[in-house]
Amino acid sequence: MQGMAATLATEDDMRNVAAFYASKTAKPGFATNKATVALGEKIWRGGLADKKVPACSGCHGPSGAGIPSQYPRTAGQHAAYTEAQLLAFRSGARKNNAQMMGVVAGMTDADIKAVSDYIAGLR
Ligand code: HEC
């Protein structure tokens, strides 16, 4: 991202790019794995108490719309992207947010896959 951002010379450039993306409407996605939707929904809505995983909806909102400037929108995101981010938070490859690193610490690969697929269908 640094290389990309470096080509935005001024704050106006950045605002223009942000306005462009803000003007787009997200295409609704779908959960694709029937077998894991229930687990994904459980994690999203209530977390996994036994693994100290908090409910995702507590911060990202019930519909995954997020709270702008505090908690990013996750609803409808491609499952592969969400899964990659959660795995990166867990391994420490992405370490820009202590909250998220804590959230995923107790999750298994299967938990991460299930909630990532579920999120793709949120709207
Ligand atoms: C305590 C609040 C909190 C909880 C609970 C929480 N998150 Fe987050 N999450 C955040 C914050 C804050 C960020 C922004 C991190 C950053 O600035 O990069 C974030 C970022 C993310 C991202 C990266 C978004 C992107 O565009 O790269 C994903 C994916 C995500 N959260 C999924 C989840 C899932 C799935 C759960 C439940 C298992 C969850 N979050 C629970 C606060 C939370």
How many angstroms does the Cα of residue 60 sit away from the middle of ligand 1?
7
Q: How far is CA 121 from CA 69, 79, 91, in A?
A: 23, 9, 26
Ligand 1 contact, 53 CB (< 6 A) = yes
Q: What does the pLDDT read at residue 82? A: 98
The residue type found at 51 is K
Cβ-count burial of 83 within 10 angstroms (0-12 exposed, 13-18 middle, 19+ buried)?
A: buried
Ligand 1 contact, 116 CB (< 6 A) = no
Alpha carbon nearest to ligand 1 atom 9, residue = 100
Pocket probe for ligand 1: among 100, 116, 118, the residue whose CB has the most ligand atoms within 8 Å is 100
**Measured over all CA atoms, what is the biggest interatomic distance in the chain, rounded to whole angstroms?**
48
Q: What does the pLDDT read at residue 119? A: 98
**Tokens found for residue 98:** 């202590």
Ligand 1 contact, 122 CB (< 6 A) = no
Cα four-point dihedral sign 54, 56, 58, 59: positive
- pLDDT block averages, 10 residues each, the chain of length 123: 83 91 85 96 98 98 94 96 98 97 98 98 93
Ligand 1 contact, 79 CB (< 6 A) = no
Q: What does the pLDDT read at residue 30? A: 92
Q: What does the pLDDT read at residue 93? A: 98
Ligand 1 contact, 74 CB (< 6 A) = yes
Residue-wise burial string across 9-40, b where 16 or more C-beta atoms lie within 10 A, e elsewhere: eeeeeeeeeeeeeeeeeeeebebeeeebeebb
Q: How far is CA 98 from CA 27, 101, 108, in A?
A: 30, 5, 18
